Amino acid sequence: MVKCVQCGAENRDQARFCHSCGAPLGRRCKQCGNESLPSARFCDACGYSLVEKSAGDEIGFGFPSSYTPKSLADKILTNRTSIEGERKLVSVVFVDVADYTSICEQLDPEDIHQIMDKFFRLLMDEIHRYEGTISQFTGDGVMALFGAPVAHEDHAQRACHAALAIQGALKNFNLKVRVDYGVEFAVRTGINSGLVMVGSIGDDLRMDYTALGDTTNLASRMETTAIPGSILVSEDTHKLTKDFFLFRALGKIAVKGKSEPLEAHELLGFGQAETRIDAAVVRGLTKFVGREKELQGLEKAFERVRSGSGQIVSVVGEAGVGKSRLVLEFRNLLYGTGNTYTYLEGRCFHFGGSMAYRPIIDILRSYFNVTEGTREHVIKKSIEETIKRLDPELLSIQPPLHELLSLSVEDESYLKLEPKLKRERIFEAVRDLLLCESRSMPLILVFEDLHWIDKTTEEFLSYLIEWVPNVRILLLLLHRPEYVYPWKGKSYHGKIDLGQLPAIASSEMVKSLLEGGDVSPELRELVIGRAGGNPLFMEELIYALLESGYIKRGRRRYTLDRKLWEIPVPDTVQGIIAARMDRLESSHKWTMQVASVMGREFTFAILDMITGRPEDLKSHLASLQTAEFIYEKSSVPEAEYTFKHALVQEVAYNSLLLRRRKEIHEKIGNAIEEFYKERLEEFYEMLAYHYTASENREKAYHYLKASGLKAARSSSLWEAFRFFRDASTALKGQPVTPENAAKQVEIALYLISPMLSLGFPDDSLYMLQNGESLAKEIGDIRGLTTLCSAIGLYFSIKGDTMRGLQYNEECFEVAEQEQDIDLMAPVAFDLCSNYTARGEFLKMLAMAPGIRSRLEQSGKESESFGRGYNLYSAFAAFQGFSTAYLGEYEKGRLILENGLDFARKIGNLYSLGLIEVFYGYSWCHQGDGEKALPHFEKSISYLEKGQIFVLLGLAWTGVGWAYYFMGKPDTALPYIEKGLEIHSQANVTYNLSVHYWFLSEVYCDLGNREKARSCVDEALRLAEMNHEIYYVGLANVTLGQILGKEGLKVHEAEEAIRRGIGILEDLRVEPQVGIGHLRLAELLATLNKSEQASASFRKAETIFEKMNMNNWLAKSEAIEAALSQT
């Protein structure tokens, strides 16, 4: 009904003149509520059509331009060139009439036509209200998209708002259909969120969409599964909207076309939270960090307001940077200090730009305590009583306030005012109310999300601001950088720019989000690097990683459980960034997308070579800097830019279709080759990336191989491994020829060195075996033997030492037959690595000196032979280590020192790390922790720098072992535990028993027999499984010691120690035989077998004296003396 402004009579919606007084009727906009002139065809506030369509008007279902609102159509057509051919994250809504066939059978076709025409108009009104687009009419329903063609950061929320609005609007419509036609009319609604590809957009707004994955199909399935009258949403939509709406979980339901049932939720209504900050409060706020200075700025502004000087403060920052959180913390701060003030807040909503006065209405509803569902007379009474308490002279402002709050207005004089005068009265009424309240106590007035403000509210703010300086009002205006406000230059206007959180504050926030454990550096750097110090981005990224299982919690530590390049952008963040991008001019957006293909950082020179027109490019980049998408990193020697956030670059990149991406990657590769041809090696990695992405496989292989060799030279082993692996993949896309097979073998050989040091990660065995197969095909004996030996080393390191030994010994036989030192040296290295794991020290001594001699004779002492380690010094390590462990400590360390000198001379990190580890263990073996410690510390430095994880765990455990021999078992424990963790994370079974054996010894000394027993049992299990006979012997001795101290299984204890001594005697490891006899002597003494005990003491001490094991000798004498006194 339309109310006459002259006499107040109610008229039908289509009436143009009042039936009571004949006056022309004003036109109230259904979209925003604005009152327009009687002659107006479109609303002068929002552009919505005011022309009433009669029942006979036809909707041009085939022509979207005929039913799409002009404001939305203009937005689509203006940005058409930058939208076409893009991937968009959207929410798809299907609405369908339930039992439509039955209704058609009961009614005349003309009646059906009238019902459906009105139904479609209703759907269009509600969908367009939230800026959705109708993709297609399905006969008895529609398919609508939110977030395409124009991106919306809150596409899923808009879809849910629209679905609920349709549900609400249909209540009266359903009733009318039932009364007029005698049939039940109900709809089913389904919603899903996901990716679509936007195709071409015609002048008539026809659009082509291609669903990526199940985006549209699953929305349709949700709709067909819903019961009439209900709204069903998928799990993906629920994740994005669960904080803002009420849902009923339906659990997993069977969905047509899906083999497995899927999670579904019924949308019931609106939740308590309207904004992200509301949702955060409900969910639990994260720690507030890094904004102390900004908080102080708000405090100072409030102090000036309290003294009578009104202030305006703009809080400016990109989405998620913490504007609302800053205001919330400011409010909490004031509450804690006992200040009296009035706090009122109004929000501009993303879909409310055409809804006049929306934030002012929020403020009034809050001020007068108006809640949803309150009856009109109660609201009016509350308004009247509140104003009376404030100032009885203000009662005259009630009519404008009633109209703003959609209450009936009884003041005839006000109703007769022209729209312009009414607007003036509204402005004055709200101003007078706020000014009067500020005289009572300081008033904090907050306008959130000003970048979405409607024109009328913006004009009111400009009007109000003129009155602020002389009243106690603190006006806080929160908005994003792209919003340009019209009230510049006011002396009482301040600005707080919220930028990225500093690094320390970002680290603190990451730690607070992952409570209960340390955060690994890799994980912390990933989150901070990709989120760029944006609190919301950090929070959403961490939640997404946790929900998806990308973050693993280990022993008091959070780590990444996936590769960095597999981690996606959270949908929430993607929506925010994509919406901002769509507000750019199309040429600026295209520049940003091309730059994103270059990577997080890009140079002007290369971008110019791709795009051309340097003057235009400069202005585009300047605009992108102003919008805070990018910033200039340096201007000399060449202009270089970087994206402000890695996530921004990823969203821009992912918005491009695959075909376009490939074309741009190819152009970038060509440009780099041309521009940097004099220093191309600097750009190998970049060229490898771009040619791989462009699917130019020949060039991709060339630059991937070159990048792998470059990374290997600098001991960047993970990078070398990945480059070589990707080079192999690139080759597989090329024709099968002997030349390409030889290239594959070459890459497999290059892979051995990084594989070995990294503990043979990922698909190492598959790649080695593939190389082995190809080497056989092309008859490459040297390549075949080397690869087979590496396969043997793989089995040894992964715990299958006997299988590894078989491979290595067979390969060494072939190498000896060939009498080829280039083949013998690497195969002998692999074999000695196996002997080390098993404790076959005599076999190492039989092999290592001879290979060293051959290397000297051939003049190849400095070579690595594809193993990373300098093999000449590595064989010195094996020889010196074995010599020392067999009891000739001084001789062994002289050999180690010789190898160390050579490794230092050529700067080989692998060999330096290996020798220092062996050096440290030789001192521990002799019982001298103080001399051992510096060697382990040096080894850690080398191994960490070289990324040699296969040895790094043993080095950290060595530090613990050194502290143990220094008489500090408590200090030793965390180092050994760290060593065990590193060794386990490297996925290396080889010598894992070492850590557990050391732990059992330490726990035994600390008196924790339960843990000591658990660790020695695990050490024994692993050593036996891996055929590490040396550690089987050691673990048996320690097991006997532990059993003996328990005093329950003394005979088993004696048997275990004697068994261990027997194994160690077979291996001729005399020092450990001596330690075994010391443990046996202790046990026998407690069993009152004094003669046997004394004999064992003598055997132990004889060995200790012979081997210069003075620490052990002193320990033995002290134990014997203590036992003799008892």
Neighbours of 109 (CB within 10 A): 8
> What letters, b where the CB count within 10 A reaches 16 and e where it falls short, cover 157-168?
bbbbbbbbbbbe
Q: Pick one of 3.40.50.920, 3.60.15.10, 1.25.40.10, 3.40.50.1460 as the CATH number of 960-1125.
A: 1.25.40.10
Residues forming CATH 3.30.70.1230 domain(s) in the chain: 64-270
**Model pLDDT, residue 1126:** 63
Q: How confident is the model at residue 68 (pLDDT cuts 50, 70, 90)?
A: low
Match 């077979």 to its residue by tokens: 1066
Is the pLDDT reported for residue 351 higher than 80? Answer: no
Rounded Cα distance between 920 and 941, Å, is: 14
Q: Which CATH architecture does the domain made up of 735-835 adopt?
A: Alpha Horseshoe (1.25)
Beta strands 86-97 and 187-201 are antiparallel
Q: What is the pLDDT of residues 770-805, one digit of tens each?
A: 999 999 999 999 899 999 999 998 998 888 888 988
Torsion sign over Cα 1078, 1079, 1082, 1088: negative
Is the pLDDT reported for residue 81 higher than 60? Answer: no
Beta strands 245-253 and 35-36 are unpaired
Distances (CA, A) of 934 to 144, 496, 663, 921, 1110: 69, 52, 55, 11, 20
Residues forming CATH 1.10.10.10 domain(s) in the chain: 572-658
Percentage of the chain modeled with pLDDT above 90: 45
Q: What is the pLDDT of residues 960-1014, one digit of tens each?
A: 999 999 999 999 999 999 999 999 888 888 889 999 999 999 999 999 999 999 9
Pure H helices in 284-418: 292-306, 323-337, 358-367, 376-390, 398-404, 412-415
Coil, helix or strand for 5?
coil
Determine contact, residues 766/736, Cβ cutoff 8 Å: no
Distances (CA, A) of 1062 to 791, 997, 1013, 1067, 1068: 32, 18, 21, 9, 10
> What letters, b where the CB count within 10 A reaches 16 and e where it falls short, cover 1022-1048?
bbeebbbbbbbbbbbbbbbbbbbbeee
Is the pLDDT reported for residue 1102 higher than 90? Answer: yes
Beta strands 443-448 and 245-253 are unpaired
Least confident of 79-83, 222-226, 984-988, 1085-1089: 79-83
**Amino acid identity for residue 247 in this structure:** F
Rounded Cα distance between 699 and 681, Å, is: 14
**Model pLDDT, residue 56:** 37
Determine contact, residues 866/826, Cβ cutoff 8 Å: yes
Match 């051995």 to its residue by tokens: 752
**Model pLDDT, residue 1067:** 93
Q: How confident is the model at residue 57 (pLDDT cuts 50, 70, 90)?
A: very low
- Fold entry, domain 572-658: Arc Repressor Mutant, subunit A (1.10.10)
Is the pLDDT reported for residue 732 higher than 80? Answer: yes
Measured torsion, CA atoms of residues 315, 316, 317, 322, in degrees rounded to the nearest 10? 10
**Tokens describing residue 1017:** 């049992």
Q: What is the CATH number of domain 291-497?
A: 3.40.50.300
User: What single DSSP character describes residue 86?
Assistant: E
**Model pLDDT, residue 866:** 84
Determine contact, residues 875/828, Cβ cutoff 8 Å: yes
Across the range 421-433, mean pLDDT stands at 92
Least confident of 308-312, 413-417, 996-1000: 413-417
**Model pLDDT, residue 69:** 54
Judge if the upstream peptide bond of residue 392 is cis by omega within 30 degrees of 0: no
Coil, helix or strand for 518?
strand
Rounded Cα distance between 1005 and 1079, Å, is: 13
Average pLDDT, the chain: 85
Match 């693993």 to its residue by tokens: 552
**Model pLDDT, residue 475:** 95
* Cα three-residue angle 771-776-782, rounded to 5 degrees: 80
Across the range 474-497, mean pLDDT stands at 86
3-state helix, strand, coil in the chain (%, to 5): 60, 10, 25
Q: How confident is the model at residue 288 (pLDDT cuts 50, 70, 90)?
A: confident
Q: Model-level pTM greater than 0.75? A: no
User: What single DSSP character describes residue 457?
Assistant: H
**Tokens describing residue 129:** 């209200």
Q: What is the pLDDT of residues 867-925, one digit of tens each?
A: 889 999 999 999 999 999 999 999 999 999 999 999 999 999 999 999 999 999 999 99
**Tokens describing residue 421:** 């005068």
**Model pLDDT, residue 824:** 93
Overall CATH class of domain 64-270: alpha beta
Percentage of the chain modeled with pLDDT above 70: 89
Rounded Cα distance between 773 and 654, Å, is: 39
**Model pLDDT, residue 204:** 47
Residues forming CATH 1.25.40.10 domain(s) in the chain: 735-835, 960-1125
Determine contact, residues 6/31, Cβ cutoff 8 Å: no
Q: Which residues lie closer than 8 Å to 1008 by C-beta, 6 or more apart?
A: none
Pure H helices in 1047-1086: 1050-1067, 1070-1086
Determine contact, residues 823/785, Cβ cutoff 8 Å: yes
Q: Shortest CA distance to 710 belongs to which of 683, 730, 729?
A: 683
Is the pLDDT reported for residue 1101 higher than 80? Answer: yes
Across the range 156-179, mean pLDDT stands at 91
Q: Which residues lie closer than 8 Å to 995 by C-beta, 6 or more apart?
A: 953, 957, 976, 979, 980, 983
Rounded Cα distance between 840 and 1111, Å, is: 26
